[in-house]
Structure 1
C-alpha cells in the first residue's frame, strides 16, 4: 500500500532511486511542479495580499482628485522665406542640445509664468493659492478640517504676482523635447480641463511673443550701430584707395591684370618646368625598359615575352610585329615536330635554328629603337636644364626688385579689405533695415491645445494594474518567506534529509468519535478481573477500521520493525516522541492492537511514569502496575490487564504519589528482570515511553528496548527540536528503526510533496477496497 511503497523507496536514498531524483531535480518539469505546489500551499496569503493591495488602489482612486493635462507643441527653427534669410542680420545656427535646453528653461522661467499669470489674472486663483498640490492633499481630504496657509503676504506686490503663486504655477508647468526633434511639448496640469488648455496656450503665445520682441529689439540696436560703422568705413576705404593711386603715380609702377610682370614670368616658367620634368621622366622610364630588355639573352624566349613591357613603340612597330609572328609560328611548329619525331630530329633542329635567326633580328630592331629612345631622353634633359636656368634668372631678378612693390601690395591689400568690409556692412545694414519692417521668429505653435477629455492623473488602469500586480508580487514574497520559515516536518523527504533516518509510515489524522468502545463500564465491576472493558475509539481504530489508511499505516510500522536488518531481535519496541502530545501513545496502542489481532502474543507496557496517559485511558481503576511488580509487591499476573476482543495484554502504571527519580526506577535491576520475563512470555513487547525533550527517562530504557520508533507530528513538530532531542540521546538515535509522521493531513500532502503527489490519491486505496479515512 501507500506506506509500504514509501518505505521501500525511502530506504534507497543512496541507490538508484536517489540518483534518479537528482537527475530530475534540475528539470523544468520539477520547477513547474514546485511552483504549482507552492501556489497550492500559499494561495490564501497571496490572494489576501492581492485583495488588500487592490482595495488600497481603489481607495486611492476614490480619494485622489482628478488632474487634467493640456498639451501644446512648439516648433523651434521655423524655416524663413529666402529673401528674409538673405536680409537677416543675426546668424541662424542649427539647434543643438544645449540650445534646446536653454529654450526649455526659458519656457519654464519665472518671467514667462509672471506674464501668463498677469495676462489671465490668476493671482487670486484658488487652485494656485493652495498650500500643497492636489495630489498630495489626500490626508486633508480624509480629515474634516483643512489647514490653510496663513496669508501673511499680499497676492500681488507692485503689480506682480506673489512668489508662492509663481512657484505653484511652475510646479504644474512642464516642458520636454519630443525625441530628437526641434519640437517642444508644453504641459500644464489643472483640475479644470478648460483652464488647463487656456493656460498652456497662453504660455506658448507668451514664449513666441518674447522671442519676437527679443529679435526685434536686437535688430533695432544692430541697425543703429551699423549706420555709424558704415560712415567710418566709407571714409577709411576712400582714403586707402587714394593712397594707392598716389604711390603708383609717384613710383611709376606698371602691372598687367593687377600683377607684376616678374610674377607673371615666374608663373609661366614654373608651368614650363613642370611639363619638361614630366617629359624627361617619361623618356628615362622608356630608356630603362629598353636597356633591361637588351640585357637579356637573344637566344632565350624572355626577349619575346619582354616586348610587351617596352610600351607602344614595340607593339606598334610593323617590323617587330612581323618578326614576332614568324617567331611564334616557328615555335608552334617546333613543338609539333618535337612531339612527333623528337627534339633531336633534323627537321626540329632546322626549325630551331630559324627561330634563333628571327630572335636575333628582333634583338637588332630593339637596339635600334633603344638608340632613338636615348636620343629623346638626352633632348628632354637638355630642355629641362635650359628652363631651370631661365627660372633661376627670373627669380634672381624678382628678388632684386626694390621695396616699392611690397609697399604698393600692402596699400592695395588694406584698401581692398576696407572696401570689402564696407560692402559687407552695407549689405547687413540693408538687411537689418528690412528686418525691422518684417518681424518674424523661428518659433511657432504647431497646434493649439484643446481641453482634455480624460484625466491624466491618477491613471486608473495603471494604478489598478500596479495594485494588483504589486499585491501579487508582495503576496508571493510574503508567502515565500512564510514557506521558508515553516520549519516543521511535512514530508518524508524532510525527515530523511534532516534526521538521516527512514520514515516508516505516514499516519493520517483520525476523524473518528472520541468516545470509548467495548462493554459499558459498570460501577460494580471488580478491578481484580483486570479486563479492558472501555477502550477509546482512537485506540480501537486499527481494529474497528481494518480497511482504512490509518490501519494500513500501522501495518507499515510493524512491517518495518519485523524487517529491520540492524538487530537480530526486535521483540521489545519503544515508542517515543520529541515533545508531548504528538500521538505516540495512540501509535503504541494501535500497533499493539494490530499485533495482538494478528494472533501474536503482545503486551503493551506504559513506561511514562510521570504522565501515564495510556493507563488513564485503558485502565483508570488499576490498583497495581509496573512499579509494584518491579518492587515485588505484586506478581506480574496480578497487574496485567487484558483486552477480550484482541487478547492484548496491558501493564499499567499506578501513581500513588509523586515520582521524582523516575530515571533511577527505570534503570533498576528489577525493571530489567521484569522485561526479561516479558520477553520470555510474549512475542512482542510494545513500550509507551515518555517524550525525549522534557525528560531523560527514555535514555534510561535504552538497555531494555531492542528498537525505538520516533513519532513526529505533521505540521507541528519543529525540525530543530527533533534534531536537538536526538543529538542529546545518541543511544536512542543508534537504535531507531525509523520515524512515523503522525496526524498527517493526506489531502494537504499533495501540496507539499510534489514528487509523490499521485500517491496520495484516494483512487489507489478504493481500488483495493480501502477507505480514505
Structure 2
C-alpha cells in the first residue's frame, strides 16, 4: 500500500531503496543530508496550526482586553547631563574611552533602589493620594513596609536609559497623574546628587578616621624605631657618624696631629741645643751702663774743650792743662766702668742662655708628651672604629627603619592634611538640562497598536513554538523517519481501531471486514513481507518491538490473518512467554494446543488442525480468493469461513513460563520451528519486546526475517535505535507502524500516501477514521491524550 516492491538479492524491497551494507535498505538521503524546503516549513506550520491559532487568539484577545480595561497613563521625561569632573574641576566629557563606564555607572545609580527610596522620602509619596492610587489604593500600616512598597512601585514607573556616545541620560516616569510623573522625574537628579554628597562625606570621614588611626600606629612605630636606634648607639658607644667615613676622617686628623707633634718635639730639641750654643757665643764688647755712658759723654765734652783750647791758646795753657787733667781722670774712670759693664753683660748673657736652653728643652718635652698622648688616642679610636664597623650593618638597619618610619608618619600627615583641606570634587555629577513638564496627552492605552503588536508577536511566537515542538518531538510517525535514521523500509502502517482487536478470531477486521482500510493495509503488509523471499515455499517472520504495549502481538496476528485471507496457511508462534495478552485469549477461544506440550513432545505438530504442507506457491494476481481484493460479497457463509479459519493456527502458552530461556535454547524448539515451516506457508513468531528482555536477539537465528513494530506517535527514535543495536542491523528486514491515526497523520501533512487517504476513502467499506474534534486535537497538542481516534462508517 505504501511502497512499490522490486526484486533484490536480499529479497524484495521498495523501488526507491538502494542496497545498504549489512542487508539494510537505505533510501536516498538516508544519511540525513536532505534539505528542508519551503514546502516542508509550510507543512510544519499547518501541522501545528491549531496551536499557533490558539496562541494567537489567546494573546491577541488578552492584549485587547488588557488595553480596553487599562487606565490612562501619562509620561514625563527629564534630560540629565552627566558631567565628568577630574580633581581640578575640568570637564572631561570628551574623553569617551575613560568615561563610558562612568556614564553607565551613573545610569545604574539612577536605576538603583536607594535613589528611588530617596525620591519617595523627599516627595513624601506614601502620603500622596495620586501615588497611593498607583499602588492600588492600599495603605499599609507599617512604615518600613509602606516605603518598600512605594519604592518598588516607583521603580516600575521609572525608565532610565542613555544613548551610546552621549553624556545625556533620559529619565522617564509613567503615571496615571501627569503632575505626579513630572514631579517624580524632576526629583530624581536632586535625590541622586544628595545621596552621592552624603556618601562622599561619609567616605571622607571614614578615610580621615582610618588615616588618623594609621598615623597613630606609624608614629608609635617611628618612636619605637628611634628609641631602638638611640639605645643601640648608647650601648655600643656609637655617636652619629660612627662606623663610617667620619671615623676614618677623625683617625686621619689625629694621625696628622700626632705626626706633627713628633716633628715639633724633635725640632724643639734641636732648637734648644742651637739656642744654648748661640747664647754662649754672645759678645760683650759693646756692653754698657749708665755710668759708662755718663763718663763717655764727659770724655767727649772734655775732648772737645781740649781741642778748642789747644787751637785757641796752644799747649801749656793752664786751662788746657786742667782740662787735659780732667780728661785723663775721666778716661781712667771710663775704662774702669767699661770693665765692670762688660763683666755684668757677660753674667746677663750666661743667664739668658740658660733660660733659653731650659725653655727649648721644656717645649721639646711638651711636644713629645703630646705626640705620645695622640698615639694613645689613635689606638683607642682605631679599636672603637673597628668595633663600629662591625656594628654598622645593624646600625644601618635601625637607621633605615627609623627614617622609613618617620617618612611614613610624614606621608600620612600630609595625606590627612590634603584630605581635610581639599574640596570634595565628585568624579561624576549630573544636572538637569531639560526639566520635565506635565504632559496631558496619555501614552497608554493604545488598543490598536498593542493588539497589532500582540497579533504579530504571537504569530511569530506560535511559529517558533511549532518548530520547537517539531524539533523536540522524537516520536516516530513517518516512513521518511525510518529510512532517514535507520535506513530501513517501512512495510506498512496499520490504522488504529476504535475498539481494538477482538478476542474472537472470526471478528478480526481482516476476516469480518475484508474491504476495510485495516484489512487492505494488512494484506499490503503481507505482500511486502512475502516479497522479501520471492522464491521460498514457506517463510518465517519474527515480530518484535522496542517496548511492551507497542502492538507487536496485534501485528503478528494481523499478518497471519492477512496471509490466511489471501489463501495461505499461517501459524502464529507466540514466544512472549513472560506475560499474557490477546494471543493467549484467542488461544483459549479456539482451543489451540499448548506451546510447552509441543516443546516437550507431548503433542505432535501433525496433530495441529490444518491441511498437509503446501505444494504450490501463491499467485498474487490469480489466487486472491473471494476473501481478498475482489470484495464481491460482504458476507461469507459459515462453510467458507470455517475453511478459511482452518488455514490458521495459533501456538501459545496459556500461563507465563518461569524460565523462557531454557525453552528457547532447546534443540526441540528449533526443530519445532522447522516443522512448522514444513506445514505452513507463513510462520509468524511473536517475540518479547527487545528492550524489556534479550529473548528476541536469540530468536532471530530461527527465522528468515525480522520485523520491528513501532507504535505510531509513541515509539521514539532512541528506543528504535537501541532496539536495532541489540538485534543487529543486518537482521532487520523492515519496520511496521501500528496504531496509526490516519486522520491525525493526514492532518499533519507529511507528504506521503496516508495524507491522501480520505480522497480514496470510497474504496473501503466499514469504518474509517475522520478528522478528530477540536477537543481531541487540543488534548493531543499538549500531550494530554494518546488514545484511539474517532471512526465513522
TM-score range, shorter chain: 0.3 to 0.5
TM-score, L = length of structure 2: 0.46
Q: Which has the larger radius of gyration?
A: 2
